[in-house]
């Protein structure tokens, strides 16, 4: 799953620090999507191109912006109740900085073989939320522990007999993945994000219902309970990795 808010936060913060070009930020955030649009931007009525938000953030959030990845029961990093919090919980992601919050809404177009995505970012005026301090080292430790525990639990549940590709996915976890992070981003954070993305792909396979009804409802609940801590650790690892400051500025 591509975390658009994470790419936005990392590349925009790099641009604000003089480590990335304006056009690169827009291109990286947009990716393979249709051109992104923004609504609710202060001083700009209606919908505007994605790039228009960057000068506003330069004025209001010169020290950078940050990613939040809230879920029900864990809204850390959000500024309490309000439109932003509600929208961020629905989207599962948002960008915060300088008293502004941006939440992407993604709409799919076309068939499964020729699918495109339209993205509209809604800007909210917000108060400064309580910080959610999470270091790369802490997230790395938690992800390693959760991976070990999940592997043991999956082995005990014999998930590989339901979906053999899960075992193959675990075996491929160390293969190369290049995270979409800007130049100069903290190297340890880059490695952490690559590990989180590999584990996310394995989680998707492991959480899918086995073909042919090889897993019953009780087994599925046990599987989901075993994988829930790993899913949380993956989400928190993404958060720490995208929000890490460039290593040269440490």
Give the residue from 47, 13, 45, 46 showing the smallest Cα distance to 29.
13
SS3 state of residue 190: helix
Using an 8 Å Cβ cutoff, are 195 and 143 in contact? yes
How high is the pLDDT of residue 154?
72
Specify the pLDDT at position 168: 60
| Tokens coding 105 | 């809404």
SS3 245: coil
Q: What's the residue count for the chain?
A: 250
142 alpha-carbon distance from chain centroid: 17
* Structural element, H or E, at residue 39: strand 37-39
Global pTM reads 0.87
Q: Return the pLDDT at 166.
A: 59
Residue 7's CB is within 10 A of a number of other CB atoms, namely 22
- What is the per-residue pLDDT for 105? 97
Please answer whether residues 41 and 90 qualify as being in contact, where contact means their C-beta atoms are separated by less than 8 angstroms. no
Q: Give long-range contacts, CB 8 A cutoff, 24+ apart: 24-30.
A: 24/182, 25/51, 25/54, 26/50, 26/51, 26/54, 28/180, 28/182, 29/4, 30/119
Q: Average pLDDT of each block of 10 consecutive residues along the chain (250 residues)?
A: 93 95 97 96 94 96 93 90 94 95 93 85 89 91 90 70 57 64 93 90 71 63 84 95 70
Residue 249: predicted pLDDT: 45
Instruction: Give the 3-state secondary structure of residue 66.
Output: strand
């Amino acid at each position: 799953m591509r975390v658009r808010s994470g790419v936005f936060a990392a590349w925009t913060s790099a641009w604000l620090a003089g480590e990335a070009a304006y056009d690169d930020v827009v291109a990286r955030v947009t990716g393979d999507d249709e051109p992104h649009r923004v609504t609710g931007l202060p001083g700009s009525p209606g919908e505007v191109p994605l790039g228009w938000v960057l000068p506003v953030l330069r004025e209001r959030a010169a020290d950078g912006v940050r990613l939040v990845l809230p879920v029900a029961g864990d809204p850390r990093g959000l500024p309490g109740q309000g439109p932003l919090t509600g929208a961020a919980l629905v989207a599962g992601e948002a960008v915060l900085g300088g008293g502004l919050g941006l939440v992407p809404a993604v709409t799919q177009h076309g068939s499964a073989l020729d699918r495109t995505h339209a993205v509209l970012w809604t800007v909210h005026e917000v108060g400064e939320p309580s910080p959610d301090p999470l270091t790369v080292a802490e997230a790395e430790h938690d992800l390693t522990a959760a991976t070990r525990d999940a592997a043991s639990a999956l082995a005990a549940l014999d998930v590989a007999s339901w979906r053999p590709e899960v075992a193959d996915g675990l075996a491929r976890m160390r293969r190369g993945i290049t995270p979409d992070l800007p130049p100069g981003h903290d190297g340890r954070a880059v490695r952490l994000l690559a590990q989180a993305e590999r584990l996310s792909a394995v989680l998707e396979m492991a959480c899918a219902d086995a073909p042919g009804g090889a897993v019953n409802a009780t087994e599925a609940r046990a599987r989901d309970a075993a994988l829930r801590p790993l899913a949380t650790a993956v989400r928190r690892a993404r958060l720490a990795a995208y929000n890490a400051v460039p290593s040269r500025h440490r």
